[in-house]
Amino acid sequence: MSNSEMKNRTLIEDIRSLRLITGVNTPYLPNGQIDLEAYDKLVNMQIENGVQGILVAGTTGEGQLMNWNDKIMLIGHTVNLFGDKVKVIGNAGTNCTSDAIKATERGFAVGMHAALHINPYYGKTSMEGLVAHYNSVLSIGPVIIYNIPSRTAQDIPPSVVEILAKSSNLVGVKECVGNERVKEYSSEGIVVWTANDEESHDARWDFGAVGVMSVASNLIPGLMRELMFGGKNPTLNSMLMPLFDWLNLEPNPIALNTGLAQLGVIRPVFRLPHVPLPVEKRIEFVHLVEVMGRENFVGDKDVEVLDDDDFIIVGRY
């Protein structure tokens, strides 16, 4: 085995052991450009609270609303500032195989540790096409498969993953379908993370998931670490469930963006097509923070109910 193969093997084992990965939010300036200062503070809050991996420009980070240059810039920026403290996973997935290959090459060139790859959505393909698409990016470096049929309109079945698992560069699967699927993979020795915060406690402690790729950890990284590391804790899980439900009121990351803005951690700027949650849901968030304890949430400002005109909605960016 060559030195580079040895290095890759060690890296893949390191990534496979990560229990808590945050799909990090991307904050914006009033002109709609990326607010790197707020982003860096948010990532630092994650690291200080024991998050082990940062997924850059995923669904939660609105990678679909970025051009490729901005996406690769943000991945490289994250590696440069934080790559010695956390593993950096870059979202290089898209429905065009050629673009996915180029993005994966560029992401590894700027130092990301692994690539996250969704299956081709909208312009869907056959099962054989899925295998070929994934093999083309697996040949480049460590890859995590992302299965979220609610967004792609196509499930990636275990039969496809089992073929792809023959590649030494398959790190594992980020799975949204549910804990029975999680169990199916974990019982076959395939590393799997749940992408559903509300299922993550049971996924981790009952169904064999290594951990979670979390949305909620943007807001409550310390509590999510406790949920993934502290042993079975149905009491804590029940306490967190109202927040998980609130985060799922609208397609992610609408609620998360609203909540982070209410905590004063990011500016209240939205890139269309996302708009903030309505005011009654913003009031609900303030109550949630008060019940759960402000100290458990990121940032140090008082939580507030923002008015409609506090938000900046940007259509061109």
Q: Which of 102, 146, 281, 317 is catalytic?
A: 146
Q: What angle do CA 314, 274, 197 make, to 5 degrees?
A: 140
Give yes or no: 146 in active site.
yes
Phi, psi of 56 (to 5 degrees): -100, 135
- Which structure tokens are listed for 131? 């295998």
- Amino acid, single-letter form, for residue 238: S
The neighbour count for residue 77, using CB atoms within 10 Å, is 18
The neighbour count for residue 127, using CB atoms within 10 Å, is 13
Cα distance between residue 87 and residue 145, in whole Å: 16
The neighbour count for residue 183, using CB atoms within 10 Å, is 16
CA-to-CA dists, residue 162 to 166, 186, 292, angstroms: 7, 12, 41
- Amino acid, single-letter form, for residue 73: M
Q: Which of 28, 39, 71, 174 is catalytic?
A: 174
Contacts of 258 (CB under 8 A, 6+ apart): 276, 277, 281, 282, 285
DSSP code of residue 308: G
Contacts of 295 (CB under 8 A, 6+ apart): none
Give yes or no: 134 in active site.
no
Phi, psi of 104 (to 5 degrees): -65, -45
Cα distance between residue 143 and residue 273, in whole Å: 29
Cα distance between residue 25 and residue 27, in whole Å: 6
> Which residues are part of the catalytic machinery?
146, 174
